[in-house]
Amino acid sequence: MARVLINLPRSAKRGELIEIRTLIQHGMETGYRPGPNGVTQQRDIIRSFTCLFDNEEVFHAELYQAIAANPFITFSMLATASGILAFTWTGDNGFAQTETRALTVT
Amino acid sequence: MKRALLAFPLALPLALLLAGGAAAEPPQSGFALMAPETQAMQRDDTANPGMLWVQEGEALWAQSGCTGCHGDAPGSMRGAASRYPAWDATRQAPIDLAGRIEQCRVDRQGAAPLEREGEPLLALSAYVAHQSRGLPIDPPEDPRLAPARALGEALFRERRGQLDLSCAQCHDDNAGRRLGGSPIPQGHPTGYPLYRLEWQGLGSLQRRLRNCMAGVRSEPYAYGAPEYVAIEAFLMVRARGLALETPAVRP
């Protein structure tokens, strides 16, 4: 499992715009780079990131080779109700990781 | 950004570089010379990728049974990093922080040695050093460290490599000026292990020193070599009083 840092307020007021920041440990190997032995290393990147709020997609991003290692993705969301945020990163070589966080809206 | 930019630009205006600027002013962290965006990345723990390794180190600390002898790191390890390299009575030699961690693992716990620049040891070192973030570098008043510090200083002043440059010529004589576009810092070891954008990962002070050595086209010492500990022992005295930043971010 890759290390992940997710930062969002634990609670928000209804109608508040909240900022969500995510950071995940991943090498984002481009597939263009020669390794120490001179042979081009295979591509190994995260290709997609989604955030579901109570199973409804609120944010989605496609990632490509030009994105640096340990991608930092930040976005904002309108807090309408309490619920569960599920963050999923998927990529090459079967990479898949999901993290959840609860949000309380008052 | 993924290329390993090991050598400094060849078309370096050597004459200008060697003209000799002011001698080292009051110590200043490399942080001060960074772009505002890079500074912001270091300041914000939710954006600083080095924190991923700190988190990893925290998990390793619990998993590896460090707690059994040391309790919680925020209490027991506060200030430790500001006093390294320290004198190791067992080996009758100076030892750096990563070396001390390895000593606990290998000698006291009977664990298999970790690779010096491997992720687990970097993560543990980052976690331990992070407990001293904000504290001033405070090298021990230990006369047994004097020979290592003297050796470190001699290595710092020795010209090396095909470019025939010493560390001091860049980091004392030309600090604050530019080398092929990037500012030359005074070269203080305030933030290690740190996240370097060029590395796209966390690296130790030894990795940084290897980069500087390869940059002047000299052969770097092997990881773990006593010369690095000696250079670090000197650099820490030179940086006395500067605040630790681990995990710092550097370009």
The string of pLDDT tens digits covering residues A32-72 is 999 889 999 999 999 999 999 999 999 999 999 999 999 99
Predicted confidence at residue A55, as pLDDT, reads: 96
Report the DSSP beta bridge partners of residue A97: A89
Q: Are β-strands A83-91 and A46-53 bridged in parallel, bridged antiparallel, or unpaired? A: antiparallel
B23 with B121, same domain: the answer is: no
Query: How many structural domains comprise chain B?
Result: 2
Judge: A68–B1 Cβ closer than 8 Å, yes or no: yes
Whole-number pLDDT of residue A1: 86
Q: Do A70 and B200 touch (CB under 8 A)?
A: yes
Domain that holds residue B59: 51-130
Q: Which amino acid is at B226?
A: P
Instruction: Report ipTM for this prediction.
Output: 0.88
Q: From the CB of residue B164, how many other CB atoms can be counted at a distance below 10 Å? A: 13
Measured between beta carbons, which residues in chain B are less than 8 angstroms from residue A3? 52-53, 55-56
Taking phi over 0 as left and psi of -120 to 50 as alpha, with beta for the rest, B50 belongs to: alpha
> What would the mean pLDDT of A74-85 be, rounded to a whole number?
96
- Best of A3, A33, A45, A72 to disrupt the B interface (most B CBs within 10 Å) is A3
- CATH number of the domain that residue B77 is part of: 1.10.760.10
Interface residues on B facing A, Cβ-Cβ cutoff 8 A:
1-2, 45-47, 49, 51-53, 55-56, 197, 200-201
Task: Give the model's pLDDT for residue B92.
Answer: 97
The DSSP bridge pattern shows strands B194-196 and B249-250 to be: parallel
Return d(Cα B242, Cα B207) in angstroms, integer: 21
* pTM, to two decimals: 0.91
Reported residue count of chain B is 251
| pLDDT of the residue at B19 | 40
In terms of domains, do B10 and B116 share one? no
CB contact under 8 A, A27 and B200: yes
pLDDT tens, chain B, 251 aa long: 344 444 454 444 443 444 444 444 789 999 999 999 999 999 999 999 999 999 999 999 999 999 999 999 999 999 999 999 999 999 999 999 999 999 999 999 999 999 999 999 999 999 999 999 999 999 999 999 999 999 999 999 999 999 999 999 999 999 999 998 899 999 999 999 999 999 999 999 999 999 999 999 999 999 999 999 999 999 999 999 999 999 999 99
Shortest CA gap A55–chain B (Å): 25
Task: Write down the mean pLDDT value for chain A.
Answer: 96
Pairwise CB contact (< 8 Å): A7 & B46? yes
pLDDT of residue B4: 42
B74 & B107 share domain: yes
Q: What one-character DSSP code corresponds to residue B105?
A: I
The reported pLDDT for the residue numbered B239 is 98
Q: What is the pLDDT of residue A36?
A: 87
CA separation (Å) from B42 to B38, B169, B194? 6, 28, 10
pLDDT of residue B126: 98
Please provide the size of chain A in residues.
106
Cross-chain Cβ contact A5/B52 below 8 Å: yes
How close is the nearest chain B Cα to the Cα of A41, in Å?
A: 12
- The residue from B105, B130, B155 where one domain ends is B130
pLDDT score of B5: 41
- E-assigned strands of chain B? 86-88, 93-95, 178-179, 182-183, 194-196, 201-203, 249-250
Residue B21: what pLDDT? 43
- Residue that has been written with the tokens 């079967």 in this structure: A94
The CATH number of the domain where A96 resides is what? 2.60.40.10
Coil, strand, or helix at residue B75?
helix
Q: Could you tell me which residues are beta bridge partners of residue B196?
A: B201, B250
Answer yes or no: do B99 and B194 share one domain: no
| Enclosing domain of residue A68 | 4-105
The CA distance from B123 to B174, in Å, is 33
Q: HSE on the CB side for B141, CA within 13 Å?
A: 0
